[in-house]
Structures are given as structure tokens and as C-alpha cells.
Chain A
Amino acid sequence: MTKKDIKIINELGIHARPAGMIANTSARFACDVKIVKDRMEVNAKSIMGIMTLAAGKGSLITIIANGVDEAQALAAIVDLFSRKFDEE
């Protein structure tokens, strides 16, 4: 299992488009990917699950990947955040 804490820095938080990007990226990997926020845990492959986190700017989340390709999955998702989901 590998995980990383992330602070949401893009202006609109994880709205539909970033949620879709996270779900699409997670779905490319075989391992389980979960996102945890304030004790709430959702499947990162589910766009609706991610949206129910209501993760706005400034919130803290943890991404947890568990499975054969967990390292690559985590890196790919963290990359989305550091690119601010290509917003701006």
C-alpha cells in the first residue's frame, strides 16, 4: 500500500472535470485507488464518488493506492494535482 496527502490548490476544487480526470486516470490501473477526506472514503475510479467528497480549495485529502501497480497509479494521480488539472 502506498499513499500521499494532498492539499487542494486549484480555484474550484475537485469539480466535475477534475473528478472525471481522476476517475479516468485511476481506471487505467489494476490496483485499488481510494481517496479519503475527513474520515470519508471513496473509490477514486468513480466520478460520482469523488464528487460527493465536495473537496473545495484548501481541503486536505489522502490518496491511497493498493495493488500491483500502486506506485505508478499514485504518481499519475499526484501529477494531475500538481498540474492543477490543466486549469488556469
Chain B
Amino acid sequence: MLIKKGIAASLGIAIGRAHIVKEENILIEQKEIPKEKLKAEIKRFKEALENTKLDLDAIRIKVLNVLGKQHAKLIDAHHMILQDPLITKEVPKLIAAKGVNAEFALSEILDKAEEEFEKIDDEFFHERKHDLFDVGKKILSNLVNREKTNLKDLKEPVVIIAHNLYPSDTLHIRESNKVLGFCMDLGSKSSHTAIFAQSMGIPAVVGLSDISRQLNSGDTIIVDGEQGMVIIAPTAEIIEKYRLRQEELHKQEHFFLRLKGLPATTRDGHKIGLMCNVDSAEDSAELANIKSEGVGLFRTEFLYMNRESVPTEAEQIKFYSTVVNAIPHLPVTIRTADIGGDRATQLGIKGLKDERNPFMGFRGIRLFIKYPELLKTQLKAIYKANLGGNIKIMIPMLSSVDELLTVKKIANDVKTELIEEGYRIKTNPEFGIMIEIPAAAIILDSLLSEIDFVSIGTNDLVQYTLAVDRINQYVSELYEPFHPAVLRLINLVVQTAHKKGKPVSVCGEMASDPYAIPVLVGLGVDMLSVPIKMYLRSKYAVRSMNFEKFSALSQHLLGLSTADEIRKIIEEEVK
């Protein structure tokens, strides 16, 4: 038995026989081409390019059908590589200059490009060299007129072992339906293959350095995509252990499905609301499918993206109605658009300058207050889409009483205008704010009389409380949702809101973190709003916890002084 540690690229466990994918070696010989035949050689190369183009077209259609638009973009990138002057111009130039065969000229150019890519430190860009080789190999196989060993023709379920898998190989894996899991010598978490594996739900471990030379086809192997481990020739005992774990994971998936429609109630009978976050009309079908209790955060920024003019009232009504109609009678909380100044410029709003620090700048309700017409149009659309009376309105990036009063005045003006137009407003939508800026948490008592509910956006609240931009590599380590300051602020919000009988929801990433859920619920949060794909999982976390216990525990956590202490206790208590 041999255990090898790699990088966990895709969750799950696979147990089976290994199938080694041999690197296809196309032996490239240097041949001299006589002068009078150079034209013909260049023509042969151009034909190979044409054939490769046709191959790519065929693959693109398959990818589109099997994996969807996002992945088809990769093939578009391959098309562009094929048109790259490096290939279309440099290769024929080299054939003519050196009087060599097309295969040799192409591999010379590819080798040179590889050297350039090897110099790159950045993992993401470094990994892109595989796209170049994938295309290069396709051209070569068209030149030598030989088919690549095909992964589609697998006869029985196997674990694929390879030095490296190219994006087109992963497609064959998907088609074959016979692949239990896979392991690679190369690769990292951000390589295409890892992303493919995740979207296919196939367990995978990558970055195993020399696994493809450590075993033979037919050997038994376990792929542990949870811990990033591979076990070669495991003992019967280990196989049994992993089988149990595998069953457990399967059961878990099934079990989560059985939670559809059940309430999010703790073991000791404390019920909380469990909602979904949505940001596009495409999400609406899935909302009904998982039997969501409603939408706790409807991000409307999406509507303002990829365009050069502001969305009209009619467009907005249509957009909101798609989601509202998907789950009739259930609450839908629409957040007014949280767009930044750069977006506004692109939408045709003039006079804005680049900001030095956009996160602390002109975004969310700050922008809408300066350009009230934008807010008015959105509010009008929301009122008009509210036929069933189940829409709520939520304001992002609010930091003061003045802002709140201004927004409420605009909302009232809109209502008056609608009534004057002869429009009948049946129900007044509930009105709430996001707590993202610590100032809003601290002065919440002064805001409460004007609002019906609050929702804590933990991503921004953590960022602003700790002054950490989490995409800034120098400080991203300091981003810590379990920092005592964050927990104490959340507690302050819950205590203050409950004193006035107003409910508190949480809609950031913490709301679907299995370790954070018991703490949030323990602190008294009334509702969680989570991404659709985390919905049933989060419900499980709520249903497995004991409210009394975590109420007491959370109070204890509030007295601790470091995130490490807090995490240690939570990890012990949540299993």
C-alpha cells in the first residue's frame, strides 16, 4: 500500500481499477525539404490548420451540449490560438527560412512559447500553456494524420491516471460515462481540468508529481478528493473504510434531498427562516424545485451589467416578475442596485471621475441618492411588480439616518406619483436596510423606527469592520469572519433590533458556512439567506444543531478575545 498526497481538486471518493492514459508521443523528426517543395509543405501546414479548425468546431458543439456555454468559451480561446500569428505566420516563415518540414517547424515554435510560459510565476497564467499545447497537439495529429488515443471507448468503469489531461480529454471523460475519478501528475486547483471535474462531480486529485509512473493499468486505487490523497494498492481494511465513507457521502446527498420542504427547525424546536440569494431570472426555476421559503436577497445589479444605458421601468418590471412569479405567495426581498461609480459612467451617467478606493467610495445607495432618477425608476418598477404584495425592499450601503430619511422621502414621492397617475398600490412593501457598514450597526437604534427589518451582509461587514480588502493579497489573510469584533457587532445588531421587535437576517457568506450557522442562530438571528446550491446543506446544519446549547455557547464566544479561540471551540462543538 502506498499513500500519495496531492491537491484535492474535486470532492468525493472513487475506488476502482486504474487506467493509465499514455501520453501520445508523436515522434518529430527534422526533415529537409527541397526548395521546390517548400510551397507544398506550407500548403500542407495550412490544410492541417483548416482541419484543426473543423475539429474545434465539432468539439465546440459537443461542449456546448454537454457542459454549457461557459465551457464552450474555452474552445473559442482555442480558435483564437489557432489564428495566432505565432502559428499562422511564424511557422510558415520558419519552414521557408530553414527548409524544414511543418511538424518540426511547429514544434520549434511551440517549444519557444513553452519557454516563455515557464518563466511565469503567476499560477493562473502559467496554467494557460496547456491550452497552447492542446491546440498544438491537434495540429500535429492532423499533420501526421493520426487519431489521438480515445478516452470515449472505455469498456468498464475506471479511475483515469494521466501525466496531464487536456481540456478536450476531459470532455471525452464526460462522454464516456465510465470514469469514476481521476489523478494527474500535473495541475492545480485552478487548472481547467479541476474546474471540469468539479462541474462533472467526478472526484479528482491533481499535482501528484509522478503518479502516472507509479502504477499500472488494472491496479486498484482509491482517490480521496476530500483530503487530496491517493492510495495505491490499498489493503482490504482501507478499502472497506473508504467504502463506508463513500456510502456516507452518497447518503448525505440523498438525505439533503429529503430535506426539501421540511422546516429549518433546530433539534430543540427553534424555527428560523431559510431563504435564497438570487441574482438572475435563470435562478427562478431552481427556487421552486428546492422548495425555498422565499428570496432573502435579490441582487439587481445584474440588470445594469453589460449595457450602455440605464434599464427602463418596463425591463425592470419584467425582470422582477420572473422571480416573483416563480414562487407565488412567498416573500421576495429586492435589494436596490448596488452599483459603483465606474458602472454608472458606462451606463451613460456623465461627470464621474475614477475613484482611488471604490470600496469606500461611490456605490450602493450613495450613488442612487446623488442620482435620484435611478432610484425612482427602480422603486416604481418594484411597486408595479408587487401585484401579489409579497415584495420587500432593501437598501444597500446605508450608513446614516439622513440617508435613510432621504430614501424614504423618495419612496414616498414615487408612491404619490403612482397614485396621481391612477395606479392603485394595494400593499405597502416592507422596507429594510443592509447592515454592511459598522456605522449602521452602531446607530441601529436610531434607524429602527423607520424600517421593518435588517439584513446583515457579512462579506462587507467583515471587510469594513476589519479594514481588510480581501482581494488584496497582502492583507487577505486578515479577513476573518470569526474575529471577535464581527461577532460582537452581529450580536449588537440582533439585540438592538429585537428590543424593537424587528427581525434580523444574514445574507453574506457566513449564512451558509456550516461552522457559522450554529453561532448565528445561537446569537438569535431570525433568518438566513443562502446561495441556491447551499440551501439544503444549510438546512441540514440548522436541523442538526441545538438552539439552547448554541445560545449559551455564543454568549461565551462573545467574551473571547481572539478568532483562534473562537474557531477552536466552534470546530469542537460542530461535527
Chain A interface residues (CB < 8 Å from chain B): 11-13, 15-17, 20, 23-24, 27, 43, 45-49, 51-52, 54, 56, 83-84, 86, 88
Query: How distant is B547 from chain A, measured CB to nearest CB, in Å?
Result: 40
Q: Specify which of B84, B86, B306 lies most central, judged by the most chain A CB atoms within 10 Å of its CB.
A: B84
Minimum CB distance partner of A57 in chain B: B471
| Interface of chain A: mostly helix, strand, loop or mixed | helix
**A11/B86 in contact, CB under 8 A:** no
Q: Knowing A16-B131, A88-B306 touch, does A52 contact B77 (C-beta < 8 A)?
A: no
Alpha-carbon separation in the docked complex, A15 to B192 (Å): 13
Contacts of B76 in A (CB 8 A): 20
Selected interface stretch from B44-52, B121-129, B227-235 = B121-129
Q: List 23 A-B contacts (CB under 8 A).
A: A13-B125, A15-B124, A15-B128, A16-B80, A20-B77, A20-B80, A23-B84, A43-B86, A45-B85, A46-B85, A47-B81, A48-B86, A48-B132, A49-B86, A51-B125, A52-B116, A52-B119, A52-B120, A54-B122, A54-B125, A56-B125, A83-B346, A86-B306
Query: Is the CB–CB distance between A52 and B117 below 8 Å?
Result: yes
Closest 3 pairs (CB-CB, A-B):
A54-B125, A52-B116, A20-B80
User: 11 new A-B pairs (CB below 8 Å) besides A52-B125, A88-B305?
Assistant: A15-B125, A43-B85, A47-B81, A47-B84, A48-B81, A48-B84, A52-B113, A52-B116, A52-B119, A54-B120, A54-B122
Q: Which of A11, A23, A45 contacts B471 (CB 8 A)?
A: A11
In the assembled complex, the CB of A14 is this many whole angstroms from the nearest CB of chain B, namely 9
Chain B positions within 8 Å of A49 at CB level: 84, 86
Residues on the A chain within 8 Å of B85, using CB: 43, 45-46
C-alpha spacing A27/B343, complex, angstroms: 28
Closest chain A residue to B74, Cβ basis: A16
In the assembly, what is the distance between CA of A36 and CA of B412, in Å? Answer: 55
Assess the A51–B86 pair: CB atoms within 8 A: no
Please state if B128 and A51 are interface contacts (CB–CB under 8 Å).
yes
Say whether B31 faces chain A, with CB atoms less than 8 Å apart.
no
**Complex interface: chain B residues within 8 A of A45 (CB):** 85
Q: What is the CA–CA distance of A47 and B125 in the complex, to the nearest angstrom?
A: 12
Given A51-B128, A88-B306, A88-B343; A23-B122 close (CB under 8 Å): no
Residue B73 is within 8 A (CB to CB) of chain A in the complex: yes
- Which residue of chain B has its CB nearest to the CB of A55? B125
A34 to B119, CA, bound (A): 20
- The CA-CA distance from A70 to B411 in the complex, in Å, is 51
Smallest Cβ-Cβ distance to A16: which chain B residue: B77
Q: Is there an interface contact between B86 and A46, defined as CB atoms closer than 8 Å?
A: yes
Chain B 115-148 interface 0/1 with A at a Cβ cutoff of 8 Å (1 = within): 0110111101110100110000000000000000
Q: How far is the CA of A43 from the CA of B124 in the complex (A)?
A: 21
Q: CA–CA, A24 to B85, complex, Å? A: 11
Complex partner residue of A16 from B83, B116, B128, CB under 8 angstroms: B128
Residues of A within 8 Å of B124, CB to CB, are 12, 15, 56
A56 to B342, CA, bound (A): 20
Which partner residue on chain A sits nearest B354 by CB separation? Answer: A9
Contact with A along B48-85 (1 / 0, CB 8 A): 00000000000000000000000001101100110111
Q: Are B122 and A17 touching (Cβ within 8 A)?
A: no
Q: How many angstroms between the C-alpha atoms of A3 and B76 in the bound complex?
A: 29
Interface residues of B in 289-305 (CB under 8 A from A): 305
Which of A15, A51, A84, A88 has the most CB atoms of chain B within a 10 A radius of its CB? A51
Q: Among B73, B74, B113, B121, which residue has its beta carbon within 8 angstroms of that of A48?
A: B113
Q: Determine the residue in chain A with the shortest Cβ distance to B118.
A: A52
* Residue in B closest to A43 when the chains form the complex, CB atoms: B85
Name which of A27, A49, A88 has the most chain B CB atoms within 10 A of its CB.
A88
Expressed in whole angstroms, the Cα–Cα distance for A47 and B86 within the complex equals 9
Cα distance, A43 to B85, chains bound together (Å): 9
**Inter-chain contacts of A88 with B (CB < 8 A):** 305-306, 343
CB neighbours (8 Å) of A86 from chain B are: 306
Task: Report A26 CB to chain B, min CB distance, Å.
Answer: 10
Query: Taking the nearest CB of chain A, how far is it from the CB of B344, in angstroms?
Result: 12
Contact partners of A54 in chain B: CB under 8 A: 120-122, 125-126
* Residues of B with C-beta under 8 A to A46: 84-86
Report how far A75 CA is from B84 CA in the complex, Å. 22
Q: Which residues of A contact B113 (CB under 8 A)?
A: 48, 52
A52 contacts across to B, CB distance below 8 A = 113, 116-117, 119-120, 125
Does A17 contact B73, Cβ atoms closer than 8 Å?
Answer: yes
- In whole angstroms, what is the CA distance A29 to B117 when docked? 27
- Considering only CB atoms, which chain B residue lies closest to A83 in the complex? B346
A54 and B306 alpha carbons, distance in the complex (Å): 25
Highest count of chain B CB atoms <10 Å: which of A12, A20, A23, A46: A46
Measured CA separation A38–B471 after assembly (Å): 23
CA distance A17 to B23 in the complex (A): 29
Chain B residues with Cβ under 8 A from A84's Cβ?
342
Nearest-neighbour CB distance to chain B for A10, whole angstroms, equals: 10
Query: In the complex, what's the smallest C-beta–C-beta distance from B353 to chain A, in angstroms?
Result: 13
Q: How far is the CB of B449 from chain A (nearest CB, A)?
A: 37
> In whole angstroms, what is the CA distance A16 to B46 when docked?
24
Cα-based distance from A47 to B116 in the complex (angstroms): 13
- Shortest CB–CB separation between residue A25 and chain B, in angstroms? 12
Complex-state Cα separation, A17 to B125, whole angstroms: 12
Q: Give the nearest-CB partner of B123 in chain A.
A: A54
> Closest CB of chain B to A22's CB: distance in Å?
10
Q: Which residues of A contact B132 (CB under 8 A)?
A: 48
Name B116's closest neighbour in chain A (CB-CB): A52
Give the CA-CA distance A76 to B117 in the complex, in Å.
Answer: 27
Residues of chain A within 8 A (CB-CB) of B116 are 52
Known A11-B471, A88-B306; contact A23-B80, beta-carbon cutoff 8 A: yes
Counting chain B CB atoms within 10 Å of each CB, the highest count among A16, A48, A54, A84 belongs to A48
- Note all chain B residues with C-beta closer than 8 A to A16: 74, 77, 80, 128, 131
